[in-house]
Structure 1
Amino acid sequence: MAINTLIVDDEKPAREELAFLLKGFPEINLIGQGKNGVEAVNLIKEHSPDLVFLDVQMPGLDGFGVLKKLVERKARVPHVVFATAFDHYAVQAFDVNAVDYVLKPFDKSRIAKAIARARREMEADTSPAERLEKLVSQLAGPKPAVSSAPVKLLIKSQQRMLLVDAEDLVFATIADGLITVCARETDGTSNYRTLEEMHAALDADAFWRPHRSYLVNIHHIKEVVPWFKSSYMLKMNDKKQTEIPVSRQQTKRLRELFKL
């Protein structure tokens, strides 16, 4: 069964990367791309797609705004897979309402799961409209209060197990499945299995994934260094002044953070 699919994202590199990955799925028939929320509403109305990969963070009418417009107009709602880079509250809402999402930077295996899930729901003739409407209502309501209690992370360093305040964490990186942590006073390794899991335990306003292999504390970024082809490096304020790359997909978030 061919799945007629749309991609909507305001960043051209993100659209191109996702379109390239979707070429690896023969059941996907990519019928169009949009670069903002208004185009998304019009494309969905015009093409009546089966599946839409929809960016959450877009200027003007964002991904949730697109969804709200469709619900308000009682239009046919396609199966939606949200693409998000950093909104942990939104991710929690997706999970609660069984709405699918993929995190940026995109991972082919995660996209495969999203497509498989959409296919199962289509074959079962399950409409996503009710779940998506609940999602819109939940996101429109007040966000839950965030605990102000300091988070401590366990770091293994030279056969010692040290507790480090989250605010002292400079950055973390993963290689070969092992997470290495750099804090203000010590370095070591963490028992977290993934950076996603570590990120979820930390303050979403203070920590950011500039690259698939890194998690950084925004308050410990010392300098933003322009790099080639409009890319950037982050110079951290650890003893080594480590330089961390910013992926193409996260350049938008960098500009939002520091008003570049």
Structure 2
Amino acid sequence: MNEKIRTIVVDDEQLARRGLLVRLAQFEQIELIQECSSGREALAAIQEHKPDLVLLDIQMPGLSGFDVLRKLNEKNITMPAVVFVTAYDQYAIRAFEVRALDYLLKPVDEERLTQTLERITAELSGRREKEHQAKLLDLVSDMTGEDCEDILQRLAAGQELTQDNYPEHIAIKESGEITRVAISAIEWIDAAGDYMCIHACNETHILRRTMKELEKELNPKSFQRIHRSAIVNLSQVEKLCSRQNGEYHLILQNGEELKVSRSYKDKIKQLILGN
């Protein structure tokens, strides 16, 4: 790509913005067309200048970086290539690698910036630009107006942003008492006839319900059937082991070992490798 990459830099912190501009000045292909100190200023600049690239801070008062993207989508403004800029390194890597979107950590490292701009240059050549924009739009459509820090933390934990109507707790009646068990705390579930054994936090709760009924209350992105009579919380899986007889077993973080039936083996392997 021989043309200049028309770029807008957005950051509410002047020092951070200036530091990034100094780094960018070393790259001949970058043409800075505006720097913005707020989300609202960025929104107007993107609408006016239609840049190729926006280096977009996430945490800003008023409109966050995520809010800017959502507003662009609402106004049907073509999405530029976007590189997120964040100081939240504990979130950033998982948050944006989940969607294969690029990011820069503050303070911006020159080597990392070089890699990012090489990637953006390739995308703007037309080979992957539409794919990049689709991922941005996917992120926007998932945000549903939530607080951006909450979004970052959920992505960092490997959670999806879509609003699925799955309960956060399950009520279990035992010996005249009703116990509320957090769905996220469930390690695995096994069946005994019409009863379910819910294993959570080193305790086992007995629930009168069928496996099929219970599955409807569990997010399939987090819980997976591994056997006709067993469901596991994927976040609790430590490793997948194969035995000499061809059987597969899951080892959970608590040391529990669960057998995987042959019919679920391939799917479990795919899910574990994907996580």
**For the superposition of Structure 1 and Structure 2, which TM-score range results when normalised by the shorter chain?**
0.5 to 0.7
Which TM-score applies when normalising by structure 1? 0.53
Is 1:132 the counterpart of 2:131? The answer is no
- Aligned-residue offset at 1:144: 6.7
Q: Secondary structure at the match of 2:85?
A: strand
Q: Which runs of 5+ in 1 are unaligned?
A: 149-260
- Write the distance in 1 (CA, Å) between the matches of 2:126 and 2:78: 17
Q: Secondary structure at the match of 1:124?
A: helix
Q: Is the 8 A contact 2:91 2:156 kept in 1?
A: no
Q: Which moved more, 1:47-56 or 1:85-94?
A: 85-94
- Write the distance in 1 (CA, Å) between the matches of 2:98 and 2:7: 25
- Aligned-residue offset at 1:78: 0.4
Is 1:29 the counterpart of 2:31? The answer is yes
- Write the distance in 2 (CA, Å) between the matches of 1:144 and 1:44: 26
Q: Is the 8 A contact 2:6 2:51 kept in 1?
A: yes
Aligned-pair identity (%)? 45
- Change in Cα spacing, 1:145 to 1:81, as seen in structure 2 (3 Å) is closer
Corresponding residue for residue 10 of structure 1: 12
- Aligned-residue offset at 1:135: 1.8
Q: What value does the CA root-mean-square deviation take over the aligned residues? A: 2.2
- Write the distance in 1 (CA, Å) between the matches of 2:9 and 2:124: 18
- Aligned-residue offset at 1:23: 0.6
Code of the residue aligned with 1:65 in structure 2: it is D
Q: Is the 8 A contact 1:7 1:32 kept in 2?
A: yes
Code of the residue aligned with 1:122 in structure 2: it is L
- Aligned-residue offset at 1:91: 3.8
Which of 93, 98, 101 is matched with 1:99 structurally? Answer: 101
Q: Which has the higher contact order (CA 8 A, sep 6+)?
A: 1
Corresponding residue for residue 55 of structure 1: 57
Q: Secondary structure at the match of 1:42?
A: helix
Q: Secondary structure at the match of 2:72?
A: helix
- Aligned-residue offset at 1:138: 4.1
- Aligned-residue offset at 1:93: 2.9
Code of the residue aligned with 1:134 in structure 2: it is D
Q: Is the 8 A contact 2:90 2:156 kept in 1?
A: no
Cα deviations across residues 154-192 of structure 1 (Å, max 9, x unaligned)? xxxxxxxxxxxxxxxxxxxxxxxxxxxxxxxxxxxxxxx
Cα deviations across residues 91-149 of structure 1 (Å, max 9, x unaligned)? 4231121111000111011111111111101112522321002222444477379699x
- Write the distance in 2 (CA, Å) between the matches of 1:89 and 1:13: 22
